[in-house]
Structure 1
Amino acid sequence: MGYWVVDDPALVREVLLDPQTFRPDNAVLAHTPLSVKALRVLSGVGFALPPTLANNAGESHRPIRAAVARFFSPARVAAVEPLTRELNAARVTAASKALADGQEVDLVQAIAAEPPALVVLHLLGLTNVDVPALKAWSLDSLELFWGWPDEDRQLELAHSAAEFYAWLRARTTAARKAPGDDLFGVLVGLGLTDEEVCAVGYFLLIAGQETTTQLISTAFQRSLTASAPPADPTRSVEQVLREASSVPTWRRVTAHRTTIGTTELPARAPVLLGLTGHNGPADLAFGLGIHRCLGAGLARLETRVALESTTDLLISARLVEDPPMIDLLSFRAPARLVVTSTAV
């Protein structure tokens, strides 16, 4: 794979807590080198991802993270639970009716896909966002940066990423003309460059919702294939995080010659960390230290609410196929979960 792989949770913890030795410089680099044609498409919109959050171990990281963290404070996250329940309830009702009418339903698209996006946009103060477009941009960007696309597929994905980036540029420009208290207004107020604002928005708007959709989808899959329905949704969420989180790996690169456990690594050695599925704590799925996921509490809340809202539906549904998977270097989840009612 081209990485030094670290699966021992104790060693993963050591790596994550030492960002000066194990730097995040490669955290958002394309796993498959981009073709000249793909790079040309991206450069056409000024696409750039300078160090901001996940890929930043410098002095600018702290103020950027502090500004974004305020949108995800425990109080603000707790306050969106009623909205989360409302969004899930409407979709569960529609899915249940469709199943009762004898239709097949994809639980990913019908329930898991949109609520996380709508909730994070609400928290960030962003309105007039095309949610289906955001979902498509997100999946395409994850494949472009963490997948194995050939040159033809890269070109398709690059056009999608360029479209997303152009949208981010437009929102940034609008925020400079009329600063507000939404995400873009706050980032502009920090004195960040356009490229830095867009870089924060690019991955925050993906990570803030698509990884949660994937976590919910995995929780649904495990419930559908379990011998008995989960009795405690909170415990079920923690079990998914320990065993099969939607973000199973993350990357680091050594700043200099160093040692992990008893293994010596050279300088600039790419490291792949196993975050889940290796008997580690559930919290490890969100990382540790200065780069711990800012949306950990929100992801837990949204997945718990999704499981609570679908308890009856999941009991009375069955999968009609072996679900195809999103299977990327650092992202894994069912791409769809097509079910039918067991009563039909």
Structure 2
Amino acid sequence: MTAGEGYVFRDQREHAHEGIHNEIITGPVTDWATDFSHLDPRWAADPYSIYDDLRKRCPIAHTERFGGAWLPVRYEDVAAIAYDTERFSSRSVVVSNIRPPRDLAPVGSTPPISSDPPFHREARRILLPAFTRSAVSRYEQTTRDYCHSLIDAFDGRDLVDAAKEYAEHIPVRVIAAMLGFPEEDGPLFREYIEDVFQGINKPPEERAVLLNDLFTYLYKQIEEHEKEPRDDLTSYLLNVKVNGSNLPAPHVAGTIALLLIAGIDTTWSAIGASLWHLAKTPADRERLVAEPELLPTAIEEFLRAYAPVTMARLVKEDMHWNGVDMKADDWILLSFPAANRDPAQFERADEVVIDREVNRHAAFGLGIHRCLGSHLARMELRVALEVWLQRIPVFTLADPDAVTWSSGQVRGPRTVPVRIG
């Protein structure tokens, strides 16, 4: 079955308030095995020690927060759930106090990442041409030029913020160019990202307002593209034909929301984490400056060690799974960062080895929802680090205690003050 055929699409603004509303639970975690929360500041500061502890005593943790959720931390469990579309639904991939209604499947509100089979295959196929290696290459030179301009703006200062003044701006500019959105709307995009990923514990009515703001903006951009078609991804989505018909407007808006939100925060976080690592690890920084040909290998290791993305699934029916009793509509937090640090899967899993040769990491996900933008993310990360290391070969953390990390399902540094020279 193809996009639009036999499925009912609903405007995200209309159903943002629907679903199962759960009690909001706040406060510090008392036991990570029975009361975890990925909003706890300790998770943002250092999730890796939490994963290590849970692997030893409780490889599938549970919490009553968010109406009930599970957290597998072993690679084999994360992979098994990611590949199992029969028992786990992707109709929502962001844990919150709102569960979208079950009849939203198999489409979801942000296809293809929120789509289940059989709809998922067609929704993903539509996007593939825009994210091939050759399609992505057309943005490389402008990305490189923009990275240089960001460093030019440092204006000779010896103290800069590698996250706020560099990493966060690069994917914003690239995604805006791909979608044909105004470059000056970058600050607005960052607000939407914070609302989606870090506002998940807000009351449902507040979440509905935030989602309404996002999709109102997107429909405005879509309307402008309908009036004035352009050579960009938004116009492509508006014009693509499936079985002779255009995609429904909510499908277009949902897909653009996915690209705007996920395409920015994940790459921003990966660039920032890589620069943070190099600032605090002079041996690795010096080696990459001396051996720039090693950078692609090092990038894969940065992606493994500092994978930014944790996705979610929803349990379809009550079941006993790998020793635990899961209930229908329980959340599953698929922690790809935890999978990437599993010593059963990777040698020296807790070390960053920039010349690691065998590195089948899960930073881009596993299963049918493996990130279709991986070529784009790798290009942005490579160019951002190439330009930085060429222009700023010597830099260190100005104040390690001043580094801050985002909370929620996408983890990356938000402030990385570095001293140049």
Taking structure 2 as the reference length, what is the TM-score of the superposition?
0.67
Q: Distance in 2 between matches of 1:50 and 1:57?
A: 11
The one-letter code matched in structure 1 to 2:380 is: E
Q: How does 1:189-204 map to 2 (within 5 A)?
A: 189=239, 190=241, 191-204=246-259
Change (3 A) 1:225 1:32: farther
Cα distance change of structure 1 residues 32 and 95 upon mapping to structure 2, 3 Å threshold: farther
Tell me which of 199, 202, 212 is aligned to 1:162.
Answer: 212
Question: What per-residue deviation string (whole Å, max 9, x for no partner) do you get for residues 236-285 of structure 1?
Answer: 322222122111x2111222345544545344332122202423555411
Structure having greater relative contact order (Cα 8 Å, sep ≥ 6): 1
Q: Cα deviations across residues 30-88 of structure 1 (Å, max 9, x unaligned)?
A: 51349xxxxxxxxxxxxx96352211104432232222222111111233222222111
In structure 2, the partner of 1:79 is 138
| CA shift in 2, pair 1:87/1:285, >3 Å | same
Counterpart-to-counterpart distance in 2, 1:16 and 1:138: 24
Q: Is the 8 A contact 2:91 2:108 kept in 1?
A: no
Q: Map residues 89-168 of structure 1 onto 2, 5 A cutoff.
A: 89-95=148-154, 97-99=156-158, 104-127=159-182, 130-145=185-200, 148-149=201-202, 155=206, 161-168=211-218
Report the secondary structure of 1:251's partner residue: strand
- The aligned counterpart of 1:238 is 300
Cα distance in 1 for residues equivalent to 2:147 and 2:108: 34
**Compared CA separation, residues 67 and 98, structure 1 to 2 (3 A):** same
Match of residue 15, structure 1, among 70, 81, 98? 81
Residue equivalent to 1:337: 416
CA, structure 1 residues 129+185, in 2 after alignment: closer, same or farther (shift >3 Å)? farther
Q: Rate the CA distance shift 1:179–1:61 in 2: closer, same or farther, 3 A.
A: farther
Q: Distance in 2 between matches of 1:143 and 1:238?
A: 27
Distance in 2 (CA, whole Å) between partners of 1:180 and 1:63 is 24
Q: Which deviates further from its counterpart, 312-321 or 222-231? A: 312-321
Cα separation, partners in 2 of 1:105 and 1:129, compared to 1, 3 Å: closer
Report 1:1-344 matches (<5 A): 1=63, 2-28=68-94, 31-33=96-98, 50=109, 52-95=111-154, 97-99=156-158, 104-127=159-182, 130-145=185-200, 148-149=201-202, 155=206, 161-189=211-239, 190=241, 191-230=246-285, 231=288, 232-247=294-309, 249-258=310-319, 260-263=321-324, 265-277=326-338, 278-279=341-342, 280=345, 283-311=361-389, 313=392, 315-322=394-401, 323-328=403-408, 330-341=409-420
Shift of 1:122: 2.6
Give percent identity, aligned residues only.
Answer: 24
The structure in which a higher percent of residues are helix is 1
Q: Distance in 2 between matches of 1:274 and 1:3?
A: 13
Report the Cα distance in structure 2 between the residues aligned to 1:158 and 1:339, rounded to whole angstroms.
38
Q: Is the 8 A contact 1:72 1:123 kept in 2?
A: no
- 1:240 partner amino acid: F
Quick one: which amino acid aligns to residue 105 of structure 1? V
Checking the alignment, whether the CA contact within 8 Å between 1:76 and 1:123 is kept in structure 2 is no
What is the Cα deviation at residue 112 of structure 1? 0.8
- In structure 1, what residue type is equivalent to 2:90? P
Match of 1:92, SS? Answer: helix
Tell me if the contact between 1:53 and 1:61 (Cα under 8 Å) persists in the aligned partners. Answer: yes
Q: What 5-or-longer segments of structure 1 have no aligned partner?
A: 35-47
CA distance in 2, matches of 1:79, 1:178: 22
Offset at residue 233 of structure 1 (A): 2.6
User: Is the CA contact (8 Å cut-off) linking 1:71 and 1:123 kept in structure 2?
Assistant: no
Distance 2:419 2:395 in 1: 9
- Letter aligned with residue 304 of structure 2: R
Measured in 1, the distance between the counterparts of 2:138 and 2:361 equals 22
Seen in structure 2, the aligned counterparts of structure 1 residues 6 and 173 have a Cα distance that, compared at 3 Å, is same
Q: Please say if residues 280 and 396 of structure 2, whose CA atoms lie closer than 8 Å, have aligned partners that are also in contact.
A: no
Residues 200, 224 of structure 1: alpha-carbon distance in 2 compared, 3 angstrom cutoff: same
Ranges in structure 2 where 5+ consecutive residues have no aligned partner: 1-62, 100-106, 289-293, 346-358
SS where residue 268 of structure 1 aligns?
Answer: coil
Contact 2:150–2:166 at 8 Å: present in 1 too?
yes
Deviation (angstroms), 1:109: 2.0
